[in-house]
Amino acid sequence: MTALHQEVYGHGDPVVMLHGWAMHTGVWRDFAQLLAAEHQVICLDLPGHGLSTSIAPYTLDAVVNAIYKQLPEQGVALVGWSLGGNIALRLAEKYPQCVKSLLLIATNPHFLETDSWPGMSPQLVQEFASNLQKNCMQTLMRFLSLQVQGKPDTKSSLKQIKRAMQECALPEAEALMGGLNVLKTIDQRKTLSNLNKPVLMILGELDTLVPESVGRQCQLLSPQIDLKIIPGAGHIPFITDQKRLLTLMQEFMLRNSS
């Protein structure tokens, strides 16, 4: 069994949080502690990230199975950011009894752009992957810095990002490439359309990775999706727009607590 590092805060109905690609729980620890005022919040490091050991082969289902083994017995509100949202979608599909509701932050069920679907350019993804292989830390820091530029508290946000990035070693190579491969090949539009769970989708108006138009396309697939766009936010609203994000999540979980 793969042991996944976890951090647990607060008491109450359980909320499980899954971070994004190449990150770890430290990147949203401050936000998780705010959320823990009314819930028990469980933050998991994905396999091969942070303090979690890796798995081989590194596939979406293998990651989902490792997370499933550490979920509480009662159903949880499952929060996924970016790649973590794609993992959360698959987990809710494969183990529906474990998930009460789904909260997707900056998540695209089909990450790459096509003629009929908004997303990230395949060429840009490939360029990003190449830069990562040359200088992983520098590339990640540059990317995250772009997501907070122009915000009123840019210095504070950058400080929080740098602290998190320096806290743990970089993810293992197989985890980085495995996660990137998931993003490059994922198509969960049918999963989202068929999902019989309350879903909150939160996107940033200025997100350069997951454009807000993704939300409107997802609502065409599944009209019951509760879509919220945070004005002026980018890809990491749990750092740049904590209060607004916290309110949206708390209101959704209160409505779907039964």
Contact 109, 201 (CB under 8 A): no
Do the Cβ atoms of 86 and 61 come closer than 8 Å?
no
Whole-number pLDDT of residue 157 = 79
Residues near 245 by Cβ (< 8 Å), separated by ≥ 6?
31, 105, 202, 230, 233, 237, 238
Write the pLDDT tens digit of every residue in 55-69: 999 999 999 999 999
Q: Which of 5, 157, 235, 241 is catalytic?
A: 235
Name the catalytic one among 52, 82, 101, 157: 82
The ranges assigned to domains in the chain are 6-255
Instruction: Say how many C-beta atoms besides its own lie within 10 A of residue 3's C-beta.
Output: 12
pTM of the model: 0.93
DSSP state of 112: B
Task: For residues 216 and 14, give the distance between their C-alpha atoms in angstroms, rounded to a whole number.
Answer: 29
Residue type, 137: M
Q: Is 193 a catalytic residue?
A: no
Q: Which residue has the tokens 């070693």?
A: 169
Q: Identify the H or E element spanning 245.
A: helix 242-255
Q: How does strand 6-9 pair with strand 40-44? A: antiparallel
Identity of the amino acid at 122: P
b/e string for 176-189 if b means 16 or more Cβ within 10 A? bbbbbebbeebebb
Question: Would you place residue 253 in the very low, low, confident or very high pLDDT band (cuts 50, 70, 90)?
Answer: very high
The active-site residue out of 101, 157, 207, 241 is 207
φ and ψ at residue 142, rounded to 5 degrees: -65, -45
Active site residue 11: no
Contact in structure between 83 and 27 (CB atoms under 8 Å) = no
For 145, the enclosing helix (H) or strand (E) is helix 136-146
Q: Would you say residue 40 has pLDDT above 60?
A: yes
The amino acid that residue 111 corresponds to is F
The predicted-structure confidence for 121-157, as pLDDT tens digits, reads as follows 898 888 877 887 778 777 777 777 766 766 677 778 7
To the question of domain 6-255 being in CATH 3.40.50.1820, the answer is: yes
Q: At what angle do helices 122-134 and 173-185 cross, to 10 degrees?
A: 180
pLDDT recorded at residue 83:
95
Q: CB under 8 Å to 189, separation ≥6 — which residues?
A: 109, 110, 117, 218, 221
pLDDT above 70 (res 204): yes
173 strand-pairing partners: none
Annotation says 226 is catalytic: no
Cα 120 from chain centroid? 16
